[in-house]
A and B are shown apart, each in its own frame.
Chain A
Amino acid sequence: MCLLELKAISFGYQAAIGELFDELSLQLRQGECHLIHGSTGSGKSTLLKLLVGVLSRPFSGERVCQQPCSIGVVMQDPNVQLLRQTVGAEVAFALENSGVPSNKMIDLVAHALRQAGLYVALNTPIANLSLGQRYRLMIAAQLVSSPQILLLDEPWAQLDNQGVDELTELLFELQRRGMAIVIVEHHRGAFSQCVTHRWMLSGGKLISYQPCDEPVISVCQLPGLNRRRDLSLLAPVVVSKALTLQFNDNKLLFHSSGLNLYPGEVVALIGDNGSGKSTLLKALAGIQSDIGALDLNVLGVRPKLGRYGASLALLHQRPSRQLFESTVIEEMQFSLKRYGLPIERGIGMLTKLGLSTLANLSPHTLSYGQQHLVALASLACLQPKLLLLDDPFAGLDSRYVDVVVDLINELSQQGCAILLSNHRVQPQLAVDHYWCIAQQTLRCYRAESLAGEVALKHCDGMVSDGYQDVG
């Protein structure tokens, strides 16, 4: 039975830019799971809005919805969709809004939570849930109003591998019960167990494609992973003989028996959500103040905010937050001017990244990927001695991932030490070492030995399972 149908939809935000959708069509039936893949800016989020029926601007074509049809939507960041403080109240929000009597709510909420596989007390504070649990909570908050269609916006990038496995299992179960699911995702290999239809959103149309059958490459076969270089002659930029990262309230993140990071070295910091990756990066930059004293030396001194000037740069998560200037080029030149560095580097960097056409645009009018790149480029053109990148590939499609990888390689060749965090191994990127956090321990591995048995046991499941079709 067809639940929802889009018939020859054409739509564009601005006539000058051209049509975002060009006679786009889609049929959604019970028990189907559609994966819609597309690069940044191809209109994935707009398509979701169109499916939900909340697109605020007029479009041509027809959206036919079987009546009554209810649709549940889980948007990208679960944190901005959580509206209440406890699990029960959060799930009941939709019930409250449809006037369900209070005495019937508890059963319905408990049922939805069971369906979503979240077994916690109804009065559990949301703050105590992990990201994976929050994602389940968001799904339960949709399931409570028994939707026939569930739409998910880029869940893969948000979740670590365990979270993705759990979600796949859950989706499979929902699909079995007849729910139609649409996943909008720029990672093609994700959720392969439950996907029934795959679409590429390109040129304003949905083009069907088959899953890639290429064999999975093992980590040691990845190009350029073995960067055998003797760096030990150089003075390390980060030195720690023994590191225990622990919050002041005694919550332990991890121990490490010693860390060294040398100039020109690229190290990937791998671990699940909440394992302490961001905290370590912030500790290295001297901006994490709720942790105990650390035996840590960065660029020869103890880390402190404002101590390193242009020699240390940190790219936070969602780096578009740092953009404030009126044009992209001003944004690039901001730090160069402040640190008295040649301002020509700004335009040079933009040209190198293929962004020079954007120089005079407002950074806030750019796409997500472009903003991300501009923020990264504004730090890279400082040519720091140590560059810390917190989840630099989050939300980027393969085109932008390649640009970031090239930039990292180039900086490394110039002698910049780079430490980047990720919850999966990024196969395109050549690194010297992996720092893996698991079971509250940080262990260092040479890149080539990660494929070895010990490392794989330790970092079980951390390698991206879908890289055969990326890049």
Chain B
Amino acid sequence: MRSLLSTAMAWFLMVIKMWVKRVKTPFFDRSGRDRTSPHYVVRSAKLCALCIVATLCCASGAFFVPNTALIPLLLINAALLGHGRYLGGRVRGLLLLFAIQLLITSMLYLLLHGVERLHEGGLAVTRIMLAIIPGWWLSIVCTPQRIGEVLSWCLPRKWAFVMAASFSLLPYMAKETREIYQMQVMRGANITAKALCYPKHWPELIYCVLYPLLIQLLKLSKQMALAAKLRGFGSHKRPTHWPD
């Protein structure tokens, strides 16, 4: 139990650490420009909606099409993979995922069913990959902003606003987390990477970093709600939209 908890916290801490260190290039900034990848090719929201529907169809297909129809689906996914790769997407993660899934599943099949049913496992893992590749491709061709815009069509205005506001505050939140972490390390909190090897220091991370961060989020949500209300948010039954 203790070792499991250790691993759990180690993961969590690693996340925080990675975030804290991640000053170089936030994966998107408030301007909506992606600094790292110039490959987004879908500009219009309608085309993006089409891409999302296509992605959903392809990914669902991976679960539902019979084995006989798998070849066309494989070809489509190969094309998506090729297109994504051509646009600068990285396939290493996908390959790694495939390898690990294949390893685990094959071992289970070997253990439970023997060699003769091994191919079933391979097929299942392939289907899992076919469900993942369309999503990976979507993230390469459409900006998060465009996807968000399309998704907000299906949301009530309040929640669409909340989603957009949360999204645009991501870099701010990242900065707050980093700074609070740094403040507490400098104040002597035992939350440096080295100290966190000892489980007894873990609750300190929750209290020193996550707790002040939650306080900031509570205050921020209050201020933003007031700012939006002062500018008439929710006062009109049929609000209009800024023509982008």
Contact = CB atoms under 8 A, between A and B. Distances in A.
Note whether A and B form a binding pair. yes
B228 A322 contact: no
A319 B179 CA distance: 10
Nearest to A102: B243
A324 B208 contact: yes
A327 interface: no
Contacts of A334: 187-189
Contact of A321 (B216, B223, B239): B216
Interface in B195-244: 207-208, 211-212, 215-216, 220, 223-224, 226-244
B187 A80 contact: no
Contacts of A9: none
B90 interface: no
A102 B242 CA distance: 6
Interface stretch (B26-34, B79-87, B118-126): B26-34
Given A99-B236, A285-B186, A321-B183, A73 B30 contact: no
A310 interface: yes
Contact of B31 (A128, A316, A378): A128
B105 interface: no
A57 B93 CA distance: 55
B147 to A, nearest CB: 14
B176 A321 contact: yes
Contacts of B180: 321-322
A313 interface: yes
A413 B107 CA distance: 70
Contact of A324 (B30, B192, B207): B207
B208 to A, nearest CB: 6
Looking at B31, B211, B237, the one whose CB has the most chain A CB atoms below 10 A away is: B31
Interface stretch (A82-90, A168-176, A182-190, A448-456): A82-90
A338 B188 contact: yes
A54 B187 contact: no
B220 A80 contact: yes
A141 B212 CA distance: 31
B95 interface: no
Contacts of B235: 97-98
Given A52-B230, A97-B235, A98-B236, A127 B30 contact: yes
Interface in B146-180: 161, 164-165, 168, 172, 176, 179-180
Contacts of A288: 23
A121 interface: no
B32 A94 contact: no
Given A306-B185, A313-B186, A321-B183, A97 B31 contact: no
Contacts of B226: 54, 75
B184 interface: yes
Contacts of A103: 243
Nearest to A142: B231
B6 interface: no
Contacts of A128: 31
Contact of A98 (B31, B182, B223, B232): B232
B92 interface: no
Given A54-B226, A98-B232, A126-B30, A105 B185 contact: no
Nearest to B168: A85
Interface residues of A, number: 64
A73 B233 contact: no
B100 to A, nearest CB: 31
Given A85-B31, A127-B31, A338 B239 contact: no
Interface in A181-228: none
B13 to A, nearest CB: 15
Interface in A115-138: 123, 125-128
A176 B232 CA distance: 26
Interface in A346-397: 364, 378-379
Contacts of A379: 187
A290 B24 contact: yes
A338 B189 contact: yes
A310 B230 CA distance: 45
A75 B223 contact: yes
A322 B231 CA distance: 31
B231 A94 contact: yes
Which of B184, B192, B227: most chain A CB closer than 10 A? B227
B190 interface: yes
A28 interface: no
A54 B161 CA distance: 21
Contact of A97 (B164, B179, B224, B232): B232
Contact of B164 (A84, A100, A106, A335): A84
B2 interface: no
B188 A335 contact: yes
Given A305-B182, A316-B183, 19 more contacts: A52-B230, A80-B223, A93-B242, A95-B240, A97-B236, A99-B237, A103-B243, A105-B240, A127-B29, A127-B30, A145-B231, A285-B186, A288-B23, A316-B179, A316-B182, A321-B212, A334-B188, A334-B189, A364-B215
Give 7 closest A-B pairs by Cβ, nearest first: A338-B188, A125-B31, A97-B232, A127-B30, A127-B31, A92-B242, A81-B227
25 contacts: A81-B223, A83-B168, A83-B224, A85-B30, A89-B242, A94-B231, A97-B239, A100-B240, A125-B31, A125-B32, A127-B29, A287-B186, A289-B21, A289-B23, A305-B192, A310-B188, A312-B186, A316-B179, A316-B183, A321-B183, A322-B183, A322-B212, A324-B184, A324-B208, A338-B189
Interface of B: 21, 23-24, 29-33, 145, 161, 164-165, 168, 172, 176, 179-180, 182-190, 192, 207-208, 211-212, 215-216, 220, 223-224, 226-244
